[in-house]
Structures are given as structure tokens and as C-alpha cells.
Structure 1
Amino acid sequence: MKLNANEERIMIYISEHLEEIPYLSSRELAKRVYSNPTSIMRLVKKLGFVSYNDFKVNIVSTLKDHPAITKEIQSNEDVLSLVSKVAKIQTQALQQTKETLNTMILQQVLTCLKKAGSIDLYANDTNASLAQYAKHLFFLAGKLSHVYDQDDLQLQASLLSTPDQAAIFISKYAKNSHLLTAARQLRQAGVPTIALTSSADNPLAKACQFHLVVPFAFTHQKISELDFYIGAQYYLHLCYVYLYSQSYEQALQLEKDFDLLFWK
């Protein structure tokens, strides 16, 4: 069964609002997903349901009970399976991160970030995208940030940083030797260092002053790395909303000033 882009978008909405679907008419569902009743009925038939009422009665149990026991992606999996599986991966990753979260360490990290004049982010490869995203968020909270995603720049920055800054290191495996060297150099210089990594026992966690652990189980499939990115993003969101709330009025004014400049 192959769904087109519009049908896939509708399925995503359905999977995220399962408890509401039994109470929606085809017209109301179409309105919510910016589609039309004809497209809804076409999707219902394609999914194998006899009628829209049949769909409403059975779609919740179908998606909830659809095989998604493991995070392994199979060859030619159908859309219903993937919708259910990806939703479970995200939900489980967030729940596992929340359950392993050490609130005492988190509060210490947040206090350091609040006091810091600027926040530097050290990351390589895909993790650098997370760092760039965090840089954007921290700006919205009134914190100047820099991203160092190259070995030489990471080492140079570690030599020039001062204790009034803070540094966040993002790494799943903590195997990059230059990243570890930069973390040790910064800590020796009195700069608060925070490791966002997969284990409290890996070299990066031990090299930094604080560590925030993101549960991550390595498998042969790259899909398993979703756990780390989802959990790491959760921590970065926590840092952002805390900083935003602590400088609420200034953050609001900063947004207004930025919009005036951007749209000038």
C-alpha cells in the first residue's frame, strides 16, 4: 500500500489525535487536515476499511495494536506500521530520558547557563545540527551562543574561553579525541562544562563538570540514533524554556527588537 504525500500527512494527524478520531465526522476530519471528505474516503478505502464508520470504530485499535514491538525497521514496511513505530520510538525516547533525568544535576546546569555571559556549543557531524538549533533557541532566551564543529576551532576556542562562559558538548559515543581535549582544557580553565551524552561513565561525561545522560542503545540500524537526538533535543528545550522564563521580559523585548530589524 503506497500513500501519496497528502494521505501521509493525514495519517500523521490521525496518529497524533487517535482519541479524537472516533468523534469526528469525515467532513470535520477533512477540515482539520485541510483536505476534503472525498480524499478522506479514498484514504479510508485504501486502508482497507469498508466505510468511514468502520474506520472510526477500528482505526484506534488498529494503530495501537499494530506490530511495533521493536525499533527495527523491516524491508517494505507498510505505512500503518511506520506511523505507529515512529510515534512509539519518540514517546519511549522521551519517557526514558525523563526517567533517567537527575533533577539535581539539571538544576546545577541551568544555574550555570543562567549565570554565563555566553554559551558555547561543541559538536561534530550530525550533532552539530543540534548545536545550531540550540544556538537559535538560546538567542531567543537572550543568550549569545557560538557553535564549534571543527576540530581546530574547538581546540582554539578552548584556549581562549573564560570562566564567565559555559560550554555544552554534544556527543553520542564520546570518542572524538579533540572534543575530549577541549573539554578537559575548558574545565581546567574554570569554564563550566556540560556533557550531553549517552553514558555517565564515558570519557566525555568524566571530563566535564556536569553530564546529562540521554539513554541510547546501539544497534546495527541507524534508526536507533533517533533515541539520542530526541532525548538530547528534550534537554536543550528544557535549557531554553528555563532561560526564557528567567529573563521573560527581556526575551520578549528581544523578539520585538529582532522583528523590527528583520522586517525593516
Structure 2
Amino acid sequence: MPEPLAPSIQRLHAAIETQRDNLTPTDRRIAAYLLEHPEDVALLSVQELATELRTGPASIIRTVQKLGYTGLAELKKALRSTLQRARSPLEQFGMNLDDAGGEVPPAVAAIAKREARNIADTMRVFDERAFRGAVDALARAHTVYVLGVGVSAHLAGLAAFVLQHVGLRSFALQHTGLRLSEQLIRAGKGDALLAFSFPPYSAQTIDAARLAREQGVSVVAITNHAVAPIAACCGVLLVAKTDSLTPSNSVSAPIVLVHGLAAAIAQRARPRSIKAIKTTLSIRVDE
């Protein structure tokens, strides 16, 4: 059984079907793109959409209005709302199992294909300027705090691990009796927070990022959409696609960004990184 369409997509689909006979060939091409690429429509400017579609901005706006919207802004707002209410991987996995009729889970090849697509899609929306901003914020920080909830807690541990090995003073916040935000009470100007936030978007992560920013901490977020809830709480946002065929968010694309950040920071401060690597190797030799 196919997955039910989100209300905003249902409305768009119904409008296209209703107006199909009144649409020109150009309108139909634009309408098909709107339906097939809702994320791009939600996030790209009208000029960027025009470039993708190889048409003029006015043509896009006219098509959207023919479909019953006051303008592109109304459609973008509806689609952004849908993206922010994305299902958690566990919910999606449960639906897939329910629909599978007892069939075995997806094969390794299918999962590998999805992971490759996540990485490719992440690179397609890669923002080099934001990436440089993240490198700057982390490289100059006195202390880098790293946080995540659920599978993101493991990403936080990995990030703290690799950042330490390139010479940064980095710590993953721990899930103890203290809330994540309480562990940031002493953080302030000159520090940085690297936060991972993916569906279902933990409130603890959002609260901690908000507190950190209020205290003058440079907040870098890695999330799955430019309009994810944590976007309002960070200074730099990097997008990593995490679509999954399993009960948890995919971590392949976030790991690519983590290692990319570590490599760029190591290049930025080579003497510090080389010293940290040599110290780590000497410790391991003594074990």
C-alpha cells in the first residue's frame, strides 16, 4: 500500500489534476517538477528554480497561481511545514513492515543504494560558504561541545573523537542525570557547539542549542533540512540527507560532513593537528 501523501502534497496533486486541461505544456512541465521535487520548491529561490527548470521566474509564478495559490510564497510555506513534520525513521520503518505483508527486510544492496543516494543528495545541496563558516567556528573555539540524541548521540561521540585527534578541545555531552542544556551552563563566548538534529527532532537538542546561542556560543548544526527546527537556533547550518530503510536515521552523509570538517580543520591548523596526532600515537604505543 503506498504511503499517504502529506496534506500539502495532496493539495498540489489535486490542483494539478483539476487544472490539467487548462495547463500549457510549459505549465505541465513546471507542475510536474513542483510535485516531484517538493524539497527544492520549499528551499530554493524562484530564480534558482527557474535555473533548474530552464524557464523564467514569471512562468513559475503564473503556473503556481493557475494551481490556486496566491503565489510561490504560499506554496513554499505549505511545503516547508510538511518538511518540518517529517516522520521519524522508526515510524516509517513500521509502516514499511506493515505494508510488506511479511516479506523480508530490504536487501543490503537496496540499503547501500539508499546510502549512496543520501551522500549524492547531500553533495548536491552542499553549501561551501556554510561549510567554511563551520570550519572557522570550530577551529577557533576554546572548547567544542558536541551533542545529539538517539543515533545522533553516536554521531556526537564520533565527532568529538575525530576533532580531538586534529587538536581541538572537544567533548560529547553525556546522557546523565543532567539535561543536555544543563551541561552547557559554563559554555560561553569563545566556545562552539556542534549539534546533530534529525527527525523526530529532539526537544532537548533544540533547547540546548537555543541556550548555547543565548550565551554567546557559536552554534553549528548538522540536520536534514534547511528549515528544520534547529535552524532558528544556530549560526551555521549544514544539511545532510538521512533517508533510511531501517528504524534509525542514516548516518552515512553526516559522517562524510564530520570527517570533512576534521580534515579541513587539520589543514587550517597543521602544526596543532600534527602535534595532537603525534601525542595520540605516543599514548597508544605505551598501551
TM-score range, shorter chain: 0.5 to 0.7
Deviation at 1:178, TM superposition (A): 2.5
Give the Cα separation in 2 of the matches to 1:167 and 1:249.
23
Superposition TM-score, scaled by structure 2 size: 0.59
- Report the Cα distance in structure 2 between the residues aligned to 1:200 and 1:209, rounded to whole angstroms: 12
The 1:177–1:197 alpha-carbon spacing in structure 2 relative to 1, beyond 3 Å, is same
Task: Specify the SS of the correspondent of 2:266.
Answer: helix
Of residues 159, 184, 191, the one that matches 1:165 is 191
8 Å CA contact retained: 2:119, 2:241? no
Between 117-126 and 82-91, the greater mean CA deviation after superposition:
82-91
Asked whether the equivalents of residues 158 and 183 of structure 1 are also in contact (C-alpha less than 8 Å), the reply is no
Q: In the alignment, is the contact (CA less than 8 A) between 2:189 and 2:218 conserved in 1?
A: yes
Give per-residue Cα distances to partners, 1:117-172, cap 9 Å, x unaligned.
22110111211111111111001110011111437341222221011110011121
Counterpart among 182, 189, 196 of residue 208 in structure 2: 182
Amino acid at match of 1:225: N
Aligned to 2:131: 106
Aligned counterpart for 1:127 among listed residues 142, 152, 166: 152
Residue equivalent to 1:96:
121
Residue matched to 2:279: 257
Correspondence list, 1:77-96, <5 A: 82-96=107-121
Equivalent residues of 2:167, 2:275 under 8 A apart: no
Please name the residue that 1:145 is paired with: 170
Tell me how far apart the structure 1 counterparts of residues 170 and 179 of structure 2 sit (CA, whole Å): 15
1:213 counterpart = 2:207: no
Residues 121 and 131 in structure 1, CA contact (< 8 A), matched pair in contact too: yes
CA offsets, 1:90-110, max 9 Å, x none?
221111000011111111111
Aligned residues: 187
Cα distance change on mapping 1:92 and 1:198 into 2, 3 Å: same
Residue identity over aligned pairs, in percent, reads: 17
**Aligned alpha-carbon RMSD (Å):** 2.4
Distance 1:194 1:174 in 2: 19
Decide whether the 8 Å contact of 2:118 with 2:243 is kept in 1.
Answer: no
> Which position in structure 2 is the counterpart of 1:197?
223
Query: Which letter maps to 1:246?
Result: R
Shift of 1:83: 4.6
The alpha-carbon distance between structure 1 residues 83 and 216, as it changes in their structure 2 partners (threshold 3 A), is closer
Contact 2:134 2:236 in 1 (8 A): yes
Tell me, in whole angstroms, the C-alpha distance in 1 between the residues paired with 2:224 and 2:104. Answer: 31
Please, which runs of 5 or more residues in structure 2 have no aligned partner?
1-92
CA contact (8 A) 2:180 2:205 kept: yes
Partner of 1:243: 265
- 1:155–1:181 Cα contact (<8 Å) kept: yes
Within 1, Cα distance between the matches of 2:267 and 2:179? 32
Query: Structure 1 pair 83/157, CA: closer, same or farther in 2 (3 Å)?
Result: closer
Residue by residue over 1:15-52, the C-alpha shift from the partner in whole angstroms, topping out at 9 and shown as x without a partner, is: xxxxxxxxxxxxxxxxxxxxxxxxxxxxxxxxxxxxxx
Structure 2 letter corresponding to 1:186: A
For residues 225 and 255 of structure 1, do their structure 2 counterparts lie closer, same or farther at Cα, with a shift above 3 Å needed?
Answer: same
The verdict on how the C-alpha distance between 1:209 and 1:178 changes in structure 2, with shifts beyond 3 A counting, is same
Q: Distance in 2 between matches of 1:162 and 1:118?
A: 9
